[in-house]
């Protein structure tokens, strides 16, 4: 069933924002520096391909740069002048859709406006996704936005959406973090040492 467009050619039913601030690690050790803030922004979008196969997924792909620009606007508004050091993206597809429908929302066309808003992230944005129903838990991978070899920033943001996705919906998700894991101590390249030329170091 078609739905009235309310954002470009998408029908967005709901936006979600989830924020957590970690002040101490799991053993109670206070943060080594600033607390770790993680933010999830997600849009619940009607899936025009639910229940049918289509070789062409342009109805989801073509408007995705505007969707990315809205995610970028929202993270800037939420985080103000605070620095974002890592990011990741994911999709959650309702049962009448294909996993590929979610991936259609996560291409570089979608992610590039977010990268630009964060100062032009050099590293590729880690990604995941799956099909599932309402209250499905998904772990969004996080990595340093400028250098994938920064081990301290390998992390996840766990989220779920209390009334999404319906069978004919896709949830597009972006997660962000302001720093690496609390008390990361496994060595490797430090965030302060990042060159940021090739997305690796």
pLDDT in tens, 103-149: 999 999 999 999 999 988 889 999 999 999 999 999 999 999 999 99
- Is 78 part of any domain? yes
Residue 41 and residue 15 in contact, taking contact as beta carbons nearer than 8 Å = yes
- Is 147 part of any domain? yes
Residue 126 and residue 82 in contact, taking contact as beta carbons nearer than 8 Å = no
- Is 134 part of any domain? yes
Number of domains making up the chain: 1
- Is 200 part of any domain? no
**CATH code at position 56:** 3.30.1330.110
Structural domain harbouring 94: 12-193
Model pTM score:
0.94
- Is 49 part of any domain? yes
- Is 7 part of any domain? no
């Amino acid at each position: 069933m078609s739905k009235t467009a309310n954002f470009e050619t998408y029908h967005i039913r709901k936006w979600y924002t989830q924020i957590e601030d970690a002040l101490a690690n799991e053993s109670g050790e206070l943060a080594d520096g600033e607390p770790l803030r993680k933010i999830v922004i997600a849009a619940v979008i009607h899936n025009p391909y639910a229940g049918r196969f289509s070789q062409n997924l342009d109805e989801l792909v073509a408007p995705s740069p505007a969707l990315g620009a809205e995610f970028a606007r929202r993270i800037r508004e939420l985080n103000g002048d605070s620095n974002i050091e890592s990011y990741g993206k994911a999709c959650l597809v309702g049962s009448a859709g294909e996993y590929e429908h979610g991936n259609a929302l996560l291409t570089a066309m979608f992610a590039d406006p977010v990268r630009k808003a964060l100062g032009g992230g050099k590293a590729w944005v880690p990604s995941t996704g799956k099909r599932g129903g309402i209250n499905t838990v998904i772990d969004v991978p996080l990595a340093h936005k400028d250098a994938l070899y920064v081990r301290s920033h390998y992390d996840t943001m766990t989220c779920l959406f209390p009334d999404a996705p319906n069978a004919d919906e896709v949830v597009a998700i972006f997660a962000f973090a302001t720093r690496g894991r609390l008390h990361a101590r496994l060595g490797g390249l430090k965030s302060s040492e990042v060159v940021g030329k090739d997305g690796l170091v």
